[in-house]
Structure 1
Amino acid sequence: MEMDNFGDGENAHMLNGGVSESLNTERTTAEDGYDVEEPASQEQEGFLQHVTSQKTHFTDFEGKTSFGMSVFNLSNAIMGSGILGLAYAMSNTGIILFVILLICIALLSSYSIHLLLKCSGVVGIRAYEQLGMRAFGSVGKILAALIITIHNVGAMSSYLYIIKSELPLVIQTFMGLSTKTDDWYLQGNLLIIIVTIFIILPLALMKHLGYLGYTSGFSLSCMVFFLCAVIYKMTIIPCPLSNSTTTEHHLYTNGYNTTSTEEKCMAKMITVNTQTAYAIPIVAFAFVCHPEVLPIYTELRRATKSRMQNVANVSIFAMFIMYLMTAIFGYLTFYGDVESEMLHTYMTVDPLDKLMLTVRVAVLVAVTLTVPVVLFPIRRAIQQLICPGQDFRWWRHILIAACLLFVVNLLVIFIPNIKDIFGVIGATSAPSLIFILPSIFYIRIVPNDKEPLFSRPKIQAALFATLGFIFMIMSLSFIIVDWVTTGKSNVGGH
């Protein structure tokens, strides 16, 4: 994979405004191959002060978000509830295989963002849907918008499901109640409506995504607190767990458990079992943030491809460290007893543990503050479909956000078993956003006179798209096999 081509020079042209970018910027190429924007000469500045105020720079406003806030927003978009399942993934792959997978996916995600940014630089577009329009016409635009909408609606629903299931239990524990009552403050459906109206909706009504940098930073702080608690708990929780029971993911042979106490408390370097196949998609989709990349790029101050690529690289590296440390310390705490949702394992050990109860609150805060960040690309996709090129209108901005949150709340409230739907959505939309769409957009958009069809970069992009199709087929196959296996086990008895 050739990573040194990031940001090869293209002359980006504005789609509107009537003023050539060359009037206010001079393009130079740095030694590392990045395109760099330099301020225009002082003679031009006075002339341009009244001209630039009349033109549109990709959107209806100039990028004003700092580098740090952009890193917070993109990191928050990467960070999802999937971090709670990484220790389980490590227990079913082994430490070495997990680290290899995590490194590969982090590098592939960075390369994927490079393809997006390069396509954006060629045509002067910073909207995923418009890249689809440029590559394949209306079909490409609709396809990109639908995939982004489906994926992010699924992500928002999963976050609200965590609130629906965890918040009543947290309140119940704080109040010292041994059993759940019918009081309104313990009703998950009512609680998600309250959280949506009073917390999520006001944040979703922000005009610019950059304003959410502060909440994104606080959300990431909550997850850092979660990591610190995981590290601390590893030092005090004994192995084997004194009150642990044989969990469903232990290895069985001929109907009886073959895992001894010594084996259960021994870290495995490489492990292959029936659950390993399910661990691979968990790791593969841990860095899905691509619908948010171009909106964040649009709002970045002094936006260039190299600057946005640095935002992406810093965010991916920070999340790589978070993921790796959470997985390692969680795995070295419970080894084979770790559950697919790690917080449940801690609560099994001690349901009244005040520290882990506080951690659950922190995780709830983190996922709540992530929902508005995920909503922004959906709203942009809808606007690109129904009213492309129109000026900003507050009523439309508010209406789309309210309708989206209303639909997501309905999904969470009225669909009792939605995990299979999410599984199918994740298996199709995630590979499309990470691998397939950036690759085929790159092949179609970058001119053949600059990079021939059989040039090395385009061959790499084609192989990258092929890898995405393989991940998609593999993930769907695992889900179907799981459905069939589960169905057989349910028929067979308890």
Structure 2
Amino acid sequence: MSINKDSAPDLYQECVTSDRDEGDEGDETTPLITNGSVQPKAKGASFASSVFNLMNAIMGSGILGLSYAMASTGIVGFSLLLVLVSSLAAYSIHLLLKLCDQTGINSYEGLGEKALQKPGKILVGISIIIQNIGAMSSYLFILKSELPAAIDSLLSPDRTVHAWYENGRLLLIIVTLCVVVPLAMLPKIGFLGCTSSLAFFFMLYFVVVVVVKKWSIPCPLPHNMTIPSDAFQISNSSDSDCTPKLFIISSKSGFAIPTMAFSFMCHTTVLPIYCELERPSKARMQNITNVSISLTFTIYLISALFGYLSFYAHVASELLLGYDAFMPRDIMVIVVRLAILLSVLLTVPLIHFPARKAVVLMLFGNRPFSWLIHIITTLTILSVSLLFALFVPDISNVFGVVGSTTSTCLLFVYPGIFYLKIHPGPLRSVDSIGAVLLVVSGFIMGIISFSVIVNAWINDS
């Protein structure tokens, strides 16, 4: 799975970017501030590697919920919403890059403090904490749902007794205690960054499997088949279910935009990547952003489309669970499940780092490192994430709530507000008007999505 790589603390080095002409590709290097002194910047990352890193930062567990979002909005409705969200995400990054050039700040919390003083820093910190806890919960939820299926696929199909190792909640607790907690306790965890390249190829393989297996799943689906995630009973499946819908409006449609916002969340990573770029300039980094978001958009659309065309209205909110009911022992499905589980397992500690960093900065400021604070903060954050994963019945709830609140703020609302507060340009400029529209769009999408989600919960109850 992908990594929201605002990850290790050492990524947050302040960089000072010299004033550049808007059209200048920028051959100058960017000095780093280390221990209060400016030092020459080492040879930076290439254009291609920066695209690769940003794509890894964008793609995450949200890809498993996009087919469900398409089933709730229709093919054309989903495509239009995906274009809207991805375009707004790219534009908000454009505003952040302009602010980075103007202020020399390369962290989201730093921009929040520059724009709104200490309340801005706290607001961004809380949003990052909630966003990353939501991301960790979604990864742990995947472990809870997929580990039993992975183990079952490797055992004899003739067994009739269910053993303890097929209990998803118990397995999740054991794995968290034995693997996630020890890795998260490390003061530095930069070595886990190497898993990002593997995560990218795992994601590509996942898309290939979704496309290939579409032709192996009949429609209408076999009678009396149950998809475990949402307990969809397929006993009423008919030929009419095999007609793709172009537009759908239902109580589940409110989950679409938050899931997409969750899936394009990379803004806390963009500025550190910019700081490490070879020959850094706003135009060069904007091109990297555009290429990364375009490629991610393509991967998201293909996986969502073929996942939807495999199960239609019966898509599970966590796509892989749909294959458990129909082809639990298919070798391609088994391999992709194991690959994703391995990536998820190593990603959770990495996502935990920026959340812990935000907590420590807000509560303890720049105090010297303390093992007691480190351990208590680590265990608290992991415990909260674990509880959500254990007791939230549906991963779409995680995508919906986190996506409609913190993801929407970090993607749309904050960049617009920060730009309006920091940038000295006239309010009638193109970017100022765009920033206002970004803030308004973010508020509207967040409020409507969250209201629809709450209404769906009320109706379901």
The two structures have a TM-score, normalised by structure 2, of: 0.83
Change (3 A) 1:52 1:437: closer
Q: What is the letter of the counterpart of residue 180 of structure 1?
A: H
2:443 corresponds to 1:461? no
Distance 2:166 2:232 in 1: 39
In the alignment, which of 2, 26, 30 is matched to residue 36 of structure 1? 26
Change (3 A) 1:280 1:178: farther
Structure 1 residues 348-363: aligned runs within 5 Å: 348-363=325-340
Cα offset, 1:108, TM superposition: 0.9
Match of 1:434 in 2: 411
* DSSP 3-state at the match of 2:428: coil
Change (3 A) 1:38 1:403: same
Cα offset, 1:338, TM superposition: 2.0
**Bigger relative CO (Cα 8 Å, ≥ 6 apart):** 2
Match of 2:177 in 1: 193
In the alignment, which of 43, 58, 72 is matched to residue 78 of structure 1? 58
Task: Tell me if the contact between 1:74 and 1:292 (Cα under 8 Å) persists in the aligned partners.
Answer: yes
2:380 corresponds to 1:407? yes
Distance 2:349 2:382 in 1: 14
Distance 1:345 1:297 in 2: 39
In the alignment, which of 301, 313, 317 is matched to residue 340 of structure 1? 317
Structure 1 residues 438-453: aligned runs within 5 Å: 438-447=415-424, 451-453=425-427
RMSD: 3.6
Cα offset, 1:266, TM superposition: 1.8
Match of 1:10 in 2: none
1:58-116 deviation digits (Å, cap 9, x = unpaired): 9x986744444433332222112121121222222222222111112111110011111
Q: What is the letter of the counterpart of residue 410 of structure 1?
A: S
Change (3 A) 1:161 1:285: closer
Change (3 A) 1:389 1:454: farther
Cα offset, 1:440, TM superposition: 0.4
2:80 corresponds to 1:87? no
Distance 2:139 2:442 in 1: 25
Distance 2:92 2:402 in 1: 20
Distance 2:385 2:88 in 1: 32
Match of 1:479 in 2: 453
Match of 2:444 in 1: 470
2:268 corresponds to 1:268? no
In the alignment, which of 128, 151, 156 is matched to residue 171 of structure 1? 151
Cα offset, 1:187, TM superposition: 2.6
In the alignment, which of 221, 224, 227 is matched to residue 201 of structure 2? 221
Q: What is the letter of the counterpart of residue 111 of structure 2?
A: L
In the alignment, which of 92, 107, 112 is matched to residue 92 of structure 2? 112
Counting matched residue pairs gives: 439
Cα offset, 1:455, TM superposition: 2.5
Change (3 A) 1:194 1:15: closer
1:332-385 deviation digits (Å, cap 9, x = unpaired): 222223222221111111222232122211221232343355334335434654
Of 219-228 and 77-86, deviating more is 77-86
1:149-172 deviation digits (Å, cap 9, x = unpaired): 121122112212222332233123
Distance 2:366 2:319 in 1: 45
* DSSP 3-state at the match of 2:219: coil
1:11-51 deviation digits (Å, cap 9, x = unpaired): xxx989xxx977xxxx6536xx24624369xxxxxxx9xx9
Distance 1:243 1:430 in 2: 39
Cα offset, 1:215, TM superposition: 1.4
Unmatched runs of 5 consecutive residues or more in structure 2: 1-12
Of 302-311 and 181-190, deviating more is 181-190
Identity percentage of aligned residues: 39
* DSSP 3-state at the match of 1:442: helix
* DSSP 3-state at the match of 1:137: helix
The two structures have a TM-score, normalised by structure 1, of: 0.77
Distance 2:51 2:139 in 1: 21
Distance 2:104 2:284 in 1: 16
Distance 2:201 2:378 in 1: 25
Distance 1:15 1:346 in 2: 46
In the alignment, which of 153, 164, 187 is matched to residue 182 of structure 1? 164
Unmatched runs of 5 consecutive residues or more in structure 1: 1-13, 41-47, 488-494
Q: What is the letter of the counterpart of residue 153 of structure 1?
A: I
* DSSP 3-state at the match of 2:258: helix
Task: Tell me if the contact between 1:73 and 1:373 (Cα under 8 Å) persists in the aligned partners.
Answer: no
